[in-house]
Structure 1
Amino acid sequence: MSETVTADEPTTHDPADGPTATGERADLLEVLAKHRGFLRFTTRDLTDEQAGQRTTAGELCLGGLIKHVTAVERNWVRFILDGPSAMPDFTRMTEADWARRADEFRMLPGETLAGVLADYAEAALRTDELVATLPDLDAAQPLPDAPWSEPGGRWSARRVLLHIIAETTQHAGHADIVRESLDDAKTMG
């Protein structure tokens, strides 16, 4: 039987639990937290089955969107620390690699919404700690090999954080559409 996750259950960390960010870092984390909140809010009062349900023509489900954003955030945080070696070489991925990557967008057997949300909260805490303690937001790494990467491109930690914010925001919008298609619930309005 599936449990319903309610809006008042903890699905993120308390910023007071980690280092304090100020200035630009606080601004970046505030925007990221706001959009993480929108994404999490789309799952309020859902069962595991509902979180895994496709409601549009695409493959997206709410639990899968949260899994994907979690993986994106983790991978890019590793990139900030370790550079392109932290990322797969997308130009050499096999069909099986792409299939495994597609599982980020689905709720797999045995996965629960509560577990997916807890994993997201853990990734968010790690990101927030890094942003608060990173010595230099201008530190840059060469982009990983990928068809969408500009050849010879480099991203600073700041640019990576802006990318994480953009991904989170984009997928929060997707989640809102999926949720509205599920039961007419909306994040806003």
Structure 2
Amino acid sequence: MSITETRVSQEAAELLETLAERRQFFRHTVQGLSDEQATSRPTVSQLTLAGLVKHVSEMEAQWARFIVEGAAHMELPENWQTDPGFWEDGWKLLEGETLQSTLAGYEKVAARTEEVVRGLADLNVSHPLPKAPWFQPDASWSARRVLLHLIGETAQHSGHADIIRETIDGQKTMG
């Protein structure tokens, strides 16, 4: 293995380790909850713990596909602004979904992300971002940037989950 491959491998391993730590904090926040608790809305927010897990899992899966395939599967549907299901369904459990099934799906997504990243020769592999109002026009993201985004998004939503969980039963992830 060359020095460059060693550095890439070490960088990828460190980024994956950081992402795994953030996932663990997030999963810890929802441990021991019933589906009723996980889908409750104890604050004025529409967020639920189960919905947060589902959203983070779906977004990570989408970004792992982006690293491999680019943005083709990320294009917004024409009616994305007017279809309530476009936003709402990704943030709540649908019929047949449970907190446990959502967590199991998240584990599979995490394994797939790790497989994708460990299979890369270079974290600089890059693709143009899809057209969306929240992305800079004509921007591209590298696999490295995607991993940093996933770490940030997982940490941010883990913080949301901490607040909701503490409101439900007083449990805190840390402290």
Instruction: Flag whether TM exceeds 0.5 (same fold).
Output: yes
What is aligned with 2:118? 132
The runs of at least 4 aligned residues of structure 1 exceeding 4 Å deviation read none
Q: CA RMSD in A?
A: 1.6
Determine if contact 2:35/2:99 at 8 Å carries over to the other structure: yes
Alignment partner of 1:70 is 2:64: no
Determine if contact 1:91/1:146 at 8 Å carries over to the other structure: no
What is aligned with 1:14? none
Determine if contact 2:80/2:86 at 8 Å carries over to the other structure: no
Secondary structure of residue in 2 paired with 1:95: coil
What is aligned with 2:67? 80
Determine if contact 1:38/1:187 at 8 Å carries over to the other structure: yes
Q: Which residue of 32, 56, 59 maps to 2:46?
A: 59
Q: Deviations over 1:67-114 (max 9, x none)?
A: 000110011111111111020226762522x42332111122321111
Q: How many residues align?
A: 168
Alignment partner of 1:104 is 2:90: yes
Deviation of 1:160 (Å): 0.7
Alignment partner of 1:46 is 2:46: no
Secondary structure of residue in 2 paired with 1:185: coil
TM-score by length of 1: 0.84
TM-score by length of 2: 0.90
Output the amino acid matched with 1:153.
A
Secondary structure of residue in 2 paired with 1:63: helix
Identity within the alignment, %: 49
In the alignment, the residues of structure 1 paired with residue 38 and residue 44 of structure 2 have an alpha-carbon distance, to the nearest angstrom, of 16
Give unpaired runs (5+ residues) of structure 1.
1-20
